[in-house]
A = this chain, B = another copy of it.
Amino acid sequence: MRSTLLALAAALLVSAPLATSTLHAGETETYVPVEATDVVAGLRERALESDLGYRIVESLTTEVGPRLAGSEADARAVEWATAKFKELGYDKVWTEPVTFPKWVRRSESASVLGANAQPLTVTALGGSPAGTVEGEVIRFSDLDALEAAPAGSLAGKIAFIDYRMERSRDGSGYGPGSRVRSRGPSAAIRAGAIGYVMRSAGTDSHRNPHTGITRFDEGLVPVPAAALSVPDADQLARLLARGPARIRLALDCGWDGEYTSQNVIGQINGSERPDEVVLIGGHLDSWDLGTGAVDDGAGVGITMAAGALIGQMQVRPPRSIRVVAFANEEQGLYGGKAYAEAHLGEIRQHLIGAESDFGAGRIYGYSSSAPAYATPADTAIAEALAPLGIEHLPGQGGPGPDISPFAAKGLAWARLAQDGSDYFDLHHTPDDTFDKIDPAALAQNVAAYAVFAYLAASVESADDFGFGSAPTAEAGDGN
């Protein structure tokens, strides 16, 4: 619905230095009607007082528990989400198929051999093959060091990257941390290693290793690849400081056919233009070690609750709120890719998308891909979020992982940036459990998503929805 010329203008404008619009709301601008701004103040307060999001996360993590993509619990999670959307009064509830290769974890163990014999706590990286290997461990301080190892130099050896991921509010430490996971195994194989272990990409100090997907480059024969818990990486490093050390790594896991799960979708219909939607969501799958409370039960609970609270309002926004519980984000954004593919023809009916997939910490910042002509709407949203302690941070961030495939096709995105200082203490570990969630912080998230979604679904412009942006690069290893 957005004209090509407007889209072109947007593409040019968004790449210019941050331009604060000095124009008043008018024919060529996208803005929020004052009635909507008035209404969301009450919605915001109601959401802050509601424990609905918290109860949704409790229900998912307790009743379904861990829900590895393709597992028996994946199907139960789909049933759960379908029933929950209905229970919450969503107007339309449906599923859309998502097919992916299935990876299974059966058992995993590691131990130091010889004079300092002792067990090590490990977990297989997602995508690792099965195998039992024994060999001398060669330590590398980071990925670059392993990638610089000459071919054949690790023949018969087990490579160990001992990179310590950094804690940060915005999660910027995870890029380098997750690259050790995604690229380390291939680097190890190129150098001739028979196995790969890494210090977990995490910021905690507990005996809970962090799993996560890895990939093997084309043409390489995969080797067993695992993450040590942080204390175990410390221990192995101390042993290696004393001299050579041999370990045994035994993984039983691997790819096992194909599975079809579902994106589960609930919609609160808009009062005037129900076919136009604001897209929010989280991902329904989790890793298997914990119960996926912060990753991403929280995102599911936050967005399901936000939609439900909007659905309960007397004055509905003109457009619809569509909440997606995405399938298999963890192993390659399969749910997000399937959604983008299935709905590419209706991309112009999607105003903007935002995914909650960064834990359960408070939201501290708002940004979006809004072009200059939509600055009035963007600013109105930011102003309505400000009472929640949320700062407007224009120009920062990018789309959430499951939104990114659609954003790469041109979907506008918003980012409600959560405080992730503690997120990587729990992320992908057995410790990602419901007790870690602060109900007040979760309610703040629900309030923010509700406010954002309501206002985004209420924008007006001369001819059609004005949020638009240049296509965004698709996220890589955001999962």
Asked if B117 and A72 make an inter-chain contact with CB atoms under 8 angstroms apart, the answer reads yes
Knowing A205-B436, A207-B430, A208-B206, the reply to whether A116 touches B231 (Cβ < 8 A) is: no
Contact B116 A64 (CB under 8 A): yes
Partner of A63, one of B62, B116, B234, B435: B116
Residues on the B chain within 8 Å of A430, using CB: 121, 207
Contact A118 B291 (CB under 8 A): yes
Residue from B66, B207, B208 within 8 A of A290 (CB atoms): B207
A235 is an interface residue with CB less than 8 A from chain B: yes
Question: A433 on the interface (CB 8 Å rule)?
Answer: yes
Q: List which A115-155 residues lie within 8 A (CB) of chain B.
A: 115-119, 121
Would you give the shortest CB distance from A206 to chain B, in whole angstroms? 5
A118-B73, A208-B206, A291-B118 known; A231-B66 Cβ under 8 A: no
Is the C-beta of A453 less than 8 angstroms from some C-beta in chain B? Answer: no
Q: Are A62 and B116 in contact (CB under 8 A)?
A: yes
Are A116 and B208 neighbours in the complex by a CB distance under 8 Å?
no
CA distance A117 to B63 in the complex (A): 8
A375 contacts partner chain B, Cβ-Cβ < 8 Å = no
Q: A73-B117, A235-B434 are in contact. Are A65 and B206 (CB under 8 A)?
A: no
Residue among A58, A65, A290 having the largest count of chain B Cβ atoms under 10 Å: A65
Tell me if A429 is interfacial: C-beta within 8 Å of chain B.
yes
Are A208's CB and B205's CB within 8 A? no
Q: A386 to chain B: closest CB distance in Å?
A: 33
Q: Does A431 contact B (CB under 8 A)?
A: yes
Residue A462 lies at the interface, judged by CB distance under 8 Å to chain B: no
What is the CA–CA distance of A235 and B58 in the complex, to the nearest angstrom?
Answer: 10
Asked whether A112 is an interface residue with its Cβ less than 8 Å from the other chain, the reply is yes
6 contacts across the A-B interface (CB closer than 8 A): A62-B235, A64-B118, A65-B112, A65-B118, A65-B235, A235-B434
Top-9 shortest CB links A-B: A65-B118, A207-B430, A231-B433, A62-B238, A207-B431, A231-B435, A234-B435, A206-B206, A63-B116
